[in-house]
């Protein structure tokens, strides 16, 4: 079972899920022991396929740290916080978390794009 670790101790994912609107970006940092990488990838693939079918899902991409790193970043786009929350609290999704290796931890957090004049737009 994956251990949940808050990315921001002051603003939890559950606090964020009380917000409204969208779109919203989920960034989820996973860490795992080297011997459990294959199991983590299999569990993530199962979850991604499940969540891809949920209303509001737009896209996802998994990244792995280079140089033998066992840190992974999942970047997923959702239409709204409300639809993400509905998918995240789905009993089938919750049950699927048991597929992750015991060495795995996950730090999910919701984000929105920020416009910085002359650098990046919303």
List the CATH code of the domain at 3-111. Answer: 3.30.70.100
Q: How many residues does the chain have?
A: 122
**Is cis: bond before 63, omega within 30 of 0?**
no
Question: What are 2-44's pLDDT values in tens digits?
Answer: 999 999 999 999 999 999 999 999 999 999 999 999 999 999 9
pLDDT of 121 strictly over 90: no
Residues 6 or more apart from 103 whose CB is under 8 A from it?
32, 33, 35, 36
Q: Is residue 89 within 8 Å of 108, Cβ to Cβ?
A: no
Identify which has the larger pLDDT, 83 or 122: 83
The structural domains of the chain, with segments of one domain joined by +, span: 3-111
């Amino acid at each position: 079972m994956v251990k949940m670790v808050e990315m921001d101790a002051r603003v939890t994912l559950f606090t964020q899920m009380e917000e409204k609107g969208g779109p919203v970006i989920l960034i989820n940092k996973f860490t795992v022991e080297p011997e459990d990488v294959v199991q983590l990838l299999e569990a993530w693939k199962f979850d991604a396929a499940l969540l891809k079918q949920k209303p509001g899902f737009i896209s996802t991409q998994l990244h792995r740290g280079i140089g033998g790193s066992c840190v992974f970043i999942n970047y997923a786009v959702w239409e709204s916080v409300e639809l993400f929350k509905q998918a995240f609290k789905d009993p089938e999704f919750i049950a699927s978390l048991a597929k992750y290796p015991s060495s795995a931890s996950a730090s999910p957090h919701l984000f929105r794009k920020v416009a910085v004049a002359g650098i990046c737009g919303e």
